[in-house]
């Protein structure tokens, strides 16, 4: 090279991808090792340095089930459609606890991971995906615990004739995917909005609490007054919770139209959540 010639370093231009880049499955698979690491990290960090560790995945819903049984079952006298009260509340918590854990963790992930996002590039949607996946491990432990109580009430008490598993239990994996989709879509919306409007981050616990009361967890759908059915059915978790009870306890199946409505709302929330999350994560570092 001639010493008089000035060296010009190569230039690399980074451009924002299209709105649908969050759906780039190939790119996500390229970072599967990172996804695996984040899943393990999330699962371990929840109960690191605790005495009982993963046992809390069993104790927390059990304690809530006992509280619901005492307050709403014994004191308030709410109906459980003839099924054992503890089983009714434990079953209702299966989908709800998974949803709540995913939503709470995902809702603020842009804010809590801002320093990481500033330092290195990777598909941002991997973080909420890791949360959804790691919480599946907790859900599995809770489900096994529920099945233990199911067996006890079925064969060791005189209440076994009041409930029965349905053949639709074979569709349980699809119901779990449905629950995960609701959790991810709602969490992405809250995460994107909270990145711009930090007040929403503080309002998330109140939103979750209110959402619980319009979901038939502590009461069966049959006890909801007719004039409020439209509101309850617009909540996509209603079909989810009622489907868990139908599969595991043999309660009446939710109408097909209501299930289709739940799937449609979930699809809209998930797709729009991915789009708004992708748009927000491009620029949020500017106001992080």
Q: Which residues contact 235 (CB under 8 A, 6 or more apart)?
A: 211, 214, 215
Split the chain (288 residues) into runs of 10 and give each run's mean pLDDT. 54 49 69 84 72 74 91 88 91 92 85 74 84 90 93 91 90 95 93 81 83 89 85 92 94 91 96 89 64
H or E element that contains 29: helix 25-30
Q: Distance between CA atoms of 103 and 98, rounded to whole angstroms?
A: 8
> Any idea which residue has 């599995």 for tokens?
140
- What percent of the chain is helix, strand and coil (3-state, nearest 5)? 75, 0, 25
pLDDT at position 139: 92
pLDDT at 286: 56
d(CA 273, CA 231): 22
The burial class, CB within 10 Å (0-12 / 13-18 / 19+), for 203 is: middle
Neighbours of 137 (CB within 10 A): 16
Predicted confidence at residue 287, as pLDDT, reads 54
How far are the Cα atoms of 46, 129, 133, 216, 238 from residue 179, in angstroms, in the given order? 21, 13, 12, 15, 11
At 14 the pLDDT is: 46
Contact 281, 114 (CB under 8 A): no
Q: What is the largest CA-CA distance in the chain?
A: 96
**Rounded to an integer, what distance in angstroms lies between the CA atom of residue 276 and that of residue 195?**
11
pTM, two decimals, is: 0.84
């Amino acid at each position: 090279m001639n010493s008089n010639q000035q060296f010009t370093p190569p230039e690399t231009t980074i451009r924002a991808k299209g709105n649908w880049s969050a759906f780039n499955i190939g790119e996500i698979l390229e970072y599967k090792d990172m996804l695996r690491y984040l899943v393990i990290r999330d699962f371990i960090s929840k109960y690191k340095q605790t005495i009982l560790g993963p046992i809390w995945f069993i104790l927390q819903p059990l304690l809530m089930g006992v509280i619901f049984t005492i307050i709403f079952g014994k004191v308030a006298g709410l109906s459980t459609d003839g099924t054992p009260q503890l089983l009714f509340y434990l079953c209702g918590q299966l989908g709800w606890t998974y949803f709540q854990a995913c939503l709470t963790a995902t809702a603020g992930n842009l804010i809590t991971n801002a320093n990481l996002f500033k330092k290195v590039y990777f598909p941002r949607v991997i973080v909420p995906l890791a949360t959804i996946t790691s919480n599946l491990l907790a859900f599995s432990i809770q489900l096994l615990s529920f099945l233990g109580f199911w067996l006890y009430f079925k064969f060791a008490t005189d209440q076994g004739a009041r409930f029965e598993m349905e053949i639709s239990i074979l569709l349980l994996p699809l119901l779990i995917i449905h629950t995960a989709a609701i959790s991810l879509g709602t969490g992405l919306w809250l995460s994107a909005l909270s990145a711009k409007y930090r007040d929403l981050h503080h309002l998330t616990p109140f939103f979750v609490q209110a959402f619980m009361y319009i979901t038939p967890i502590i009461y069966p759908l049959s006890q909801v007054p007719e004039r409020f059915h439209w509101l309850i059915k617009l909540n996509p978790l209603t079909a989810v919770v009622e489907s868990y009870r139908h599969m595991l306890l043999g309660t009446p199946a939710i109408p097909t139209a209501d299930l289709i409505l739940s799937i449609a709302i979930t699809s809209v929330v998930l797709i729009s959540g991915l789009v708004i999350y992708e748009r927000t994560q491009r620029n949020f570092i500017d106001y992080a």
